[in-house]
Amino acid sequence: MSTKKYVYMFTETDETMKNLCGGKGANLGQMTKLGLPIPQGFTVTTEACTYYYQNGEKLSSDIIEEVKKAMKKLEEITGKEFGNPNNPLLVSVRSGARVSMPGMMDTILNLGLNEEVVAGLASKTGNPRFAYDSYRRFIQMYSDVVMGLSKKRFEEIIDEMKEKRNIKLDIEFTADDFKEMIIKFKNFYKQEMKAEFPTEPKEQLFGAITAVFRSWENPRANYYRKMNGIPASWGTAVNVQSMVYGNMGETSGTGVAFTRNPATGENKLYGEYLINAQGEDVVAGVRTPSQIETLQEVMPSVYKQFVELSQKLEQHFKDMQDIEYTIEDSKLYLLQTRSGKRTAQAALRIAVEMYESGMITKEQALMLVQPQQLDNLLHPQFDTNNLKEVAIVGEGLPASPGAACGKIVFNVKEAIERTQKGEKVVLVRLETSPEDIEGMDVSEGILTARGGMTSHAAVVARGMGKCCVSGCKTLVVKEDEGYILIGDKKFTREDYIALDGTTGNIYGGKVKTVPATISGNFEKFMNWADEVRRLKVRTNADTPRDAKQARAFGAEGIGLCRTEHMFFDPDRIQAMREMIVSDTTEQREKALEKLLPMQRGDFEELFEAMGNFPVTIRYLDPPLHEFLPTSEEDIESIAKELGITAEALTNKVRSLHEFNPMMGHRGCRLAVSYPELAKMQTRAVIEAYINVKKRNPEYTPVPEIMIPLVGEVAELKYVKNIVCETADAILKENNMSVDYKVGTMIEIPRAAVLADEIAKEADFFSFGTNDLTQMTFGFSRDDAGSFLGEYYNKRIYEFDPFAKVDQKGVGKLIKMAATLGRETKSNLKLGVCGEHGGEPSSIEFFNSVGLDYVSCSPYRVPIARLAAAQAVIKSKK
C-alpha cells in the first residue's frame, strides 16, 4: 500500500507546489489563499499520473478512493451533490502540467450530467436552454476526449441542424434544438461504441480523469514537449473544479485576458470575452469575441472587479498573467491564472518596464525572458523600402509579430512535406486546432480566417515566436480547389504571400528582408545580462561577414573558425585538390603555396573584424575526400583541370574512401601525415597577424590556434611543435612577437579521459560537443535519424543530445576533462565550440562546470548572453 497522498483540495495547495499539483492546480490553491473568487475543486497530482502509467495505464484503487473522498468534500464546500438532479454538482476536468502547455491536453466541461440531472438543472435554473446546451457540450467533449470518437460527425450534426433551421450561430439554437441534438449525438455514440452513453456521474468522472492522464501522451503533447524540452516523466495533474456557467444567458459569459499586451508588452489589460458561451468557444475561435474594454459598458462592476483582481494577480506573481474567467449571472469567477505566453518584444518590454517601475529586481527581470525567444528578434525583418512596392491584399489581427514570407500550404502534411524539400511556406487555415502544432512549427507564419487574439493559433504562435495574422475576415480558403482568396485576389500553392505579424498586414507577393539590430529595450536588457553573466560568449564564424554580425550581437571573440570552409570556395578548391592528388611532400608544398595567400587574407579580415578579441582558428578538420568529386563526370573534368588522368583521380578518390569517415583520416591526423599542412596554416596565421599589426598598430589580434581531434598528448605535442617552430621562425624573421596560443579541441572520449596529460601541452581546451556527443553515444548524427525516432517514441531518450548537451553522459566527460585539465594547469582556458554553445540548458551546464566561454553561431550570441546571465542567477538559488 502506498502512503502517498494523490489528491489535494484547492484549499490545501499553493504556488510552491507546481511540481506535484501542476501549474494550474498550484495557482488555483494560491488564488484560493488570496481570497479570490475561485470555483472550488481538487487536484489529482502529477505523481498519480506517473503511477497511472507505471500501473499499466490504470487508476489504482487508492487513487480512486481519494478522489471519491475529495468529491465528498467538494459537495460539502459547494452545498451541491454530484448526480443529484435536484441540486446537481457539475465539474470540469482539466489537465495541468508543471509548465503550461496550452491546448495540448484535454478538457471536459459540465461533467455529471445525464437525462435526470439535466432535467433537474433545467428546472432548478429555470433555464432549459442553458441546461441542454451544457449537456450537448458534455456529450461532444466526452465522446471525443474520453472515448476517442471523431469530433467531425458531431460538428456535421450541428451544421445539418443549422441548415435545417436556417441559422448561422450556435447561439441561435433553442432548448428544443439542443434536446434534438442530444438524441442525435447519443444515437451516433451508440452506433459507434455499441453501448449507451454513460449516465453514471462517477463513471464519467473516472473516465475523464483517465482521459486527461492519457492525453499526456497524445502526439501533439509529445511534439510540444520535444519542442520545449519538457520530460515525459513529469506527468500532468488533473484538476476537478466545480462548474460555473458562462452559458446561462445574456448576463453570463466567459473570457480570457492578459494583464499586459502579449504581442507588444504594452502595460494595458488585454483580452476578449463572449457572452453566453463556455470557455472553449473563445479559444477555438469559432465566434470572434469582443475586446475586454467593451465589458466596461456591458457589465461595469464586473469589469471594475476584474481589473482590480488582475492587477492583484500580476503584483502577486510578479509577472504578466494570462487569466481565464467566467461570468455566471453577473458574478465573476476566475478559473485559472498563469504566466502569459508572450512575444519576444513583449517579454523585453514587460521585463524592462516592470523593473523600471520598481516591481521587480534586475535579476528577476532577466528571468522574465526566455533566451530562445530572442531568436525571433534576430532574424531578418521586412525591408521597409521593398515593403512599399508589394501590394497589401488584406489585413487581420496582429496575433503574433514577426515577418513571414512563403508559398501557401493548406495543412500540416503539406507544410511538412514541402518544408522538408526546402521550401518556405505560410500555413493558411480557416482556424487552427491543437493538431496543427507541427505544421505551425515548420511554417514561416500562420494566417487564419477565424479567431481572435487569444485564439489557438494566436496563443500557440506567440508561444513559438512564430509570426501569425489571425481573423482575416476577407480570407476564403478553398483547400480542395487548391487556392485561397484574400478579398478578390486569388493565390495558389505556388504563390508567395507575406505576413507582418506586428501590423496584421498581408502582402500579395515576396518581400525582401534586412538584418536585425539590437537597440532600445533589447539593448538595455542585454546590457543587464552582461552585468550578471560570468561566461564569455564567442562566436563560430568563418567569414568576415559572420564575424561582423556576431560582433554587432555582442560576441567577444571567435571561438571557432573552421578553416576548411575557406577551402571549399570554388576559387580555392582547385589548389586544395592539387594538394590532395600530390604524391610527394614537394608537390603538396607547391599546392599549399597557392592556398597560403588566400588563407592569410581570410585571417587578416577576421583579425580586423575582431579587433583585440581572440580569434580561435581550427586547423584543417574534414577528411580529404570531401574535397574531391564523386561523379564520373566531375572526375573527368576535374582531372583535366588538375592535369592528371581521370584514372589517376579515380584511384585517388578510391584510395581515400573510408568506411567510417567520421572516425577516419581527419583532424590533426592530417597534420601528422602532412606536417606541411600545419606549416602552411601557421604561416598564414602568423603572417596575417604581422600584416594586420603593421597596418593597424592599434589592433593586437589574439590568435588561438586550435588542433582538432586530439586523442593523445603526444599527438598534440607533435603538431604543436610544428606550429611553434614555424611561428617562432616567422616572428624572428620579422623581429616581432605575439602571445599566440596553441590549444586543442576535446571531442574524442580519450582526450576527455586523459585531459590531465593533454593539458600539459595545451594553452586551452575547447569542447567540441558535436563530435564528443557522437563518439560518446556511439552514433553518428548523419545516421541516427533512422533509429532515434523510435528512441523518443519509446522514451529511451527524452531529447535530442545534439540539440541539448547530454549532461549525464557527455557532461560527465566534460566535467572530468575540465577538472583533470585544471589539476594540471590551473589557468587552463576552457570553452565550448559545439552547437550546444548556443543552447540555454547546455549553457547553464557549462556555467556550472566552470568553463570560461561558450561559442555559438552569430545569431545565437544574444541568446547565449542571456542564458549565461540566467545560469548565474539560477546557480544562486
Please identify every residue annotated as catalytic.
456, 833
Is 231 a binder of its own copies (CB under 8 A)? no
Nearest to 598, CA basis, from 623, 643, 564, 622: 564
Q: Which is nearer to its own copies, 126 or 778 (CB)?
A: 778
Nearest CA among 778, 754, 677, 689 for reference residue 718: 677
Residue 797 binds its own copies (CB under 8 A)? yes
Q: Is 749 in the site for its own copies (CB under 8 A)?
A: yes
Nearest to 337 by CA among 35, 100, 13, 41: 100
- Under 8 Å CB-to-CB from 621, ≥6 apart: which residues? 562, 563, 564, 666, 667, 708, 709
Q: Radius of gyration of the chain from Cα atoms?
A: 32
Spell out, one character per residue from 697 to 716, where the chain touches its own copies: x when CB under 8 A holds, - when not: ------------x-xx-xx-
Among the listed residues 331, 695, 732, 750, the single contact to its own copies using CB under 8 A? 750
Q: What is the nearest approach in angstroms of its own copies to the Cβ of residue 715?
A: 5
- Report the residue from 313, 754, 817, 863 that binds its own copies according to the rule CB under 8 A: 754
Among 152, 388, 794, 876, binds its own copies (CB under 8 A): 794
Min separation Cβ 718 and its own copies, Å: 6
* Cα 698 to Cα 716: distance, rounded to the nearest angstrom: 33
Q: 82, 273, 525, 779: which one contacts its own copies (CB under 8 A)?
A: 779
Provide the Cα torsion 718, 720, 723, 729; round to 10°: -90
Considering the complex, what minimum distance in angstroms separates the CB of residue 797 from its own copies? 7
Q: Which is nearer to its own copies, 96 or 667 (CB)?
A: 667
Does 328 bind its own copies (CB under 8 A)? Our answer is no
For its own copies, which stretch binds (CB under 8 A), given 127-135, 471-479, 559-567, 743-751? 743-751
Strand runs (DSSP E) across 301-386, as ranges? 321-328, 331-339, 381-382
Q: Is the dihedral of CA 595, 596, 599, 605 positive or negative?
A: negative
Which residue number, 205 or 813, has a Cβ lying nearer to its own copies?
813
Among 654, 697, 787, 826, binds its own copies (CB under 8 A): 787
93 binds its own copies (CB under 8 A): no
Residue with cell 545569431: 859
Residue 269 binds to its own copies (criterion: CB under 8 A): no
Asked whether position 771 contacts its own copies by CB under 8 A, the answer is yes
748 binds its own copies (CB under 8 A): yes
Cα 244–Cα 250–Cα 255 angle in degrees, nearest 5: 55
- Torsion region of 748: left, alpha or beta (phi above 0 gives left; psi -120 to 50 gives alpha): beta
CB of residue 662 vs its own copies: minimum separation in angstroms?
5
790 touches its own copies by CB under 8 A? yes
718 touches its own copies by CB under 8 A? yes
Residue 597, interface with its own copies (CB under 8 A)? no
Q: How far is the CB of 498 from its own copies (least distance, A)?
A: 37
By CB under 8 A, which span of 68-76, 177-185, 497-505, 747-755 interacts with its own copies?
Answer: 747-755
Q: Which of 299, 453, 813, 828 binds its own copies (CB under 8 A)?
A: 813
812 binds its own copies (CB under 8 A): yes
Tell me the CA distances in angstroms from 397 to 159, 259, 447, one per residue in order.
27, 19, 10
Categorise residue 735: left if φ over 0, alpha if ψ from -120 to 50, beta otherwise: left
Closest to its own copies by CB, 388 or 421 = 421
The Cβ of residue 618 has, within 10 Å, a number of other Cβ atoms equal to 28
Minimum distance from CB of 320 to its own copies (Å)? Answer: 38
Indicate the residue among 485 and 816 with the shorter CB distance to its own copies. 816
CB closer to its own copies out of 229 and 601: 229
Q: What is the 3-state secondary structure (H, E, C) of 694-747?
A: HHCCCCCCEEEEEECCCCCHHHHHHHHHHHHHHHHHHHHHCCCCCCCEEEEEEC
DSSP state for residue 198 in the 8-state scheme: P
Q: Which of 587, 809, 819, 874 binds its own copies (CB under 8 A)?
A: 809
User: Closest approach of Cβ 721 to its own copies, in Å?
Assistant: 10
Q: Which stretch binds its own copies (CB under 8 A): 185-193, 311-319, 418-426, 768-776?
A: 768-776
Question: How many residues of this chain bind its own copies (CB under 8 A)?
Answer: 48
Contact (Cβ atoms closer than 8 angstroms) between residue 14 and residue 27: no
What is the separation, in whole angstroms, between the first and last Cα of the chain? 36
The residue from 141, 558, 680, 775 that contacts its own copies (CB under 8 A) is 775
Q: Are 134 and 110 in contact (CB under 8 A)?
A: yes
Instruction: Name the segment binding its own copies (CB under 8 A); options: 53-61, 456-464, 520-528, 769-777.
Output: 769-777
CA gap 294, 721 in Å, rounded: 77
Cβ proximity to its own copies, 204 vs 766, nearer residue: 766
Residue 177 engages its own copies in binding (rule: CB under 8 A):
no
469 close to 393: Cβ distance less than 8 angstroms: no
Q: SS3 of 839, please?
A: coil
- Could you give the CA distance from residue 213 to residue 218 in angstroms, rounded to a whole number? 10
Q: Per CB under 8 A, does 625 bind its own copies?
A: no
Considering only CA atoms, which of 406, 414, 544, 402 is closest in space to residue 462?
A: 402
**Binders in 648-687 for its own copies, by CB under 8 A:** 658-665, 669, 672-673
Among the residue ranges 255-263, 424-432, 534-542, 802-810, the one whose residues contact its own copies (CB under 8 A): 802-810
Quick check: 753 binds its own copies (CB under 8 A)?
Answer: yes
Looking at the Cβ atoms of 504 and 667, the one nearer to its own copies is 667
Rounded to 5°, angle at Cα 686 from 682 and 687: 110
Per the document, the length of the chain is: 877
Comparing CB distances to its own copies, the nearer of 189 and 718 is: 718
**Residue 632 beta carbon to its own copies: minimum distance, rounded to whole angstroms:** 16
CB of 655 to its own copies, least distance (A): 8
CB proximity list for 26: less than 8 A, separation 6 or greater: 13, 14, 15, 16, 17, 18, 20
CB of 660 to its own copies, least distance (A): 4
> Would you call 108 helix, strand, or coil by DSSP?
strand
Residues in touch with its own copies (CB under 8 A): 658-665, 669, 672-673, 709, 711-712, 714-715, 718, 747-750, 753-754, 771, 774-780, 782-784, 786-787, 790-791, 794-797, 806, 808-810, 812-813
